[in-house]
Amino acid sequence: MEKIKVLIADDIEETRQVIKKILGLENTLFEVVGEAENGEEVLKLIPKLSPDIVLMDINMPVLNGLEATEKITSEYPQMMVIIMSVQAENEYLKRAMFHGAKEYIIKPFDCNSLTETIKMTYEKYKERQKTLNQTKEKEREGRVITFFSSKGGVGKSVLALNTAIMLSKNKQKKILLLDMDLQFGDLALLVNKYSHKTILDIVDDGQVSTYENMKPYLYAYSDNLDMLFAPGKPESAEYITKETIAEMIKRLKKEYDMILVDTGVNYNDTTLHLLDHAEKILFISTMEIVALKNTKLGMRIMQSLGYDTNKVKLVINKFTTNYGISKKDIDDVFKDGIFAMIPEEEKVVNLSVNKGGPFCEGPKYIKQKIGKALEGMCMELMR
């Protein structure tokens, strides 16, 4: 076990010397890294000495113990302050804890009570900090949502793009959109950035090892939405392995709250890996009979892969009853229900695709049926 580094703050030199002698009796456990006569000195010494524990007398000149503790815990949240006081009144000690102290000890104290208080406080809060760090690490891992279809032409990429933009309207969330249709991905075209760097550039330049290395290759669509585009040529897909993608996403998940992945319409190793590691798979279909048939078959494959109904969600895009198929017909075929229905607005969508400007960016999107439906789906995804 590493020594516990202690900074002693007391305006009486004799008290400081006594504490040093007590801690010196267990020099394999404690190391006194510094002394201070007042709270102001403590604040100056902390960044230089990086103590684990500050033993803080409550009554000191210039800046008293309570004031110093409040500033310390504000500027250095992980710092452990133990208050030393001759006053044992509960209200007084409550004030000390309110100002951020982790523990207190009443003067005069003996050797055992001092060393045990320091050890107990250090072990307790180090363990708690470790748990908090692990929790934060888990929280930091972004949710992966994959857009998949067993048939082309259903508007999957347009839906993925506009969903990402809609989610990014929540300024508290950091969103990443990945084009993992490595052969025929067209997200770059949909935002008129077809000359931007792609995933192939990251791989060719050997920049997969850290997020900072990958960041220059991402297209910053807005302050909290980044995109990574697919290669410009279909044959380039063979140079991007499943292992490389897994390594990239592992790092990217720690930087984003949500990662939306647009996949190809196949079940190759890369796609299967992306599906395996997705929290949700949005299976996109339309009202056309061929698309519905392929979707039904695709859903069976999803079941055979072990994905449950909480993971795989059916989204009907371009919803209309003009094809002679009603919502009831779909409900009868897909017993697990429909996650979202995005109405057909051909003119709005085609205009946005041809201009390279996503339809949900315009001020009128929320007045359109397609905008309202997409917003509803995004609200479900955020739950």
Strand-strand pairing, 103-106 and 258-263? unpaired
- CB 224 within 8 Å of CB 175: yes
Question: What is the per-residue pLDDT for 112?
Answer: 93
Domains identified in the chain, total number: 2
Quick one: residue 356, left, alpha or beta (phi over 0 = left, psi -120 to 50 = alpha)?
A: left
Question: What is the per-residue pLDDT for 8?
Answer: 96
Residues contacting 121, CB < 8 A, separation 6+: 53, 80, 82, 102, 103
pLDDT in tens, the chain (383 residues): 689 999 999 999 999 999 999 999 988 899 999 999 999 999 999 999 999 999 999 889 999 888 899 888 878 877 899 999 887 766 667 777 777 888 889 988 999 999 999 999 998 888 766 665 565 555 557 899 999 998 888 999 999 999 999 999 887 889 999 999 999 999 999 999 988 999 999 999 999 999 999 999 999 999 999 999 999 999 999 999 989 999 999 999 999 999 999 999 888 888 988 998 899 999 999 988 888 999 988 888 888 788 888 899 999 999 988 878 888 888 888 888 899 999 998 888 888 888 878 888 866 666 788 888 898 898 888 87
Contacts 24+ apart (CB under 8 A), 209-215: 210/251, 211/251, 211/252, 211/254, 211/255, 214/248, 214/251, 214/252
Sign of the alpha-carbon dihedral angle for 277, 173, 339, 162: negative
Burial class (CB in 10 A: 0-12, 13-18, 19+), 1: exposed
HSE-up of residue 291 (Cα within 13 Å, Cβ side)? 23
**Whether residues 146 and 72 fall in one domain:** no
Q: Report how far residue 97's alpha carbon sits from residue 89's, in angstroms, rounded to the nearest whole number.
A: 13
**Whether residues 26 and 52 fall in one domain:** yes
**Whether residues 367 and 222 fall in one domain:** yes
**Whether residues 305 and 329 fall in one domain:** yes
Looking at 138, 153, 168, the residue that finishes a domain is 138
**Whether residues 246 and 330 fall in one domain:** yes
Q: What is the CATH number of the domain that holds 52?
A: 3.40.50.2300
**Whether residues 300 and 239 fall in one domain:** yes
Question: What is the per-residue pLDDT for 252?
Answer: 94
Looking at 138, 166, 184, the residue that finishes a domain is 138
**Whether residues 163 and 36 fall in one domain:** no
Q: What is the CATH number of the domain that holds 239?
A: 3.40.50.300
**Whether residues 29 and 177 fall in one domain:** no
Neighbours of 380 (CB within 10 A): 11
Structural domain of residue 297, as residue ranges?
Answer: 141-381
Question: What is the per-residue pLDDT for 133?
Answer: 59
- CB 191 within 8 Å of CB 358: yes
**Whether residues 97 and 118 fall in one domain:** yes
Question: What is the per-residue pLDDT for 85?
Answer: 87
**Whether residues 260 and 245 fall in one domain:** yes
Q: Report how far residue 211's alpha carbon sits from residue 327's, in angstroms, rounded to the nearest whole number.
A: 44
Question: What is the per-residue pLDDT for 301?
Answer: 85
**Whether residues 128 and 189 fall in one domain:** no
Contacts 24+ apart (CB under 8 A), 165-172: 165/221, 165/222, 165/225, 165/358, 165/360, 165/361, 166/360, 166/374, 166/375, 166/378, 167/258, 167/260, 167/378, 167/381, 167/382, 168/221, 168/222, 168/224, 168/225, 170/382, 171/223, 171/224
Mark 290-315 as b/e (b = at least 16 C-beta within 10 Å). ebbebbeebbeebeeeebeeeebbbb
Distance from chain centroid for Cα 154: 30
Which of 5, 324, 333, 293 minimizes the C-alpha distance to 151? 293
Question: What is the per-residue pLDDT for 324?
Answer: 82
**Whether residues 153 and 132 fall in one domain:** no
Looking at 114, 138, 162, the residue that finishes a domain is 138
Cα-flanking dihedrals φ and ψ of residue 267, to 5°? -120, 45
Cα-flanking dihedrals φ and ψ of residue 280, to 5°? -135, 145
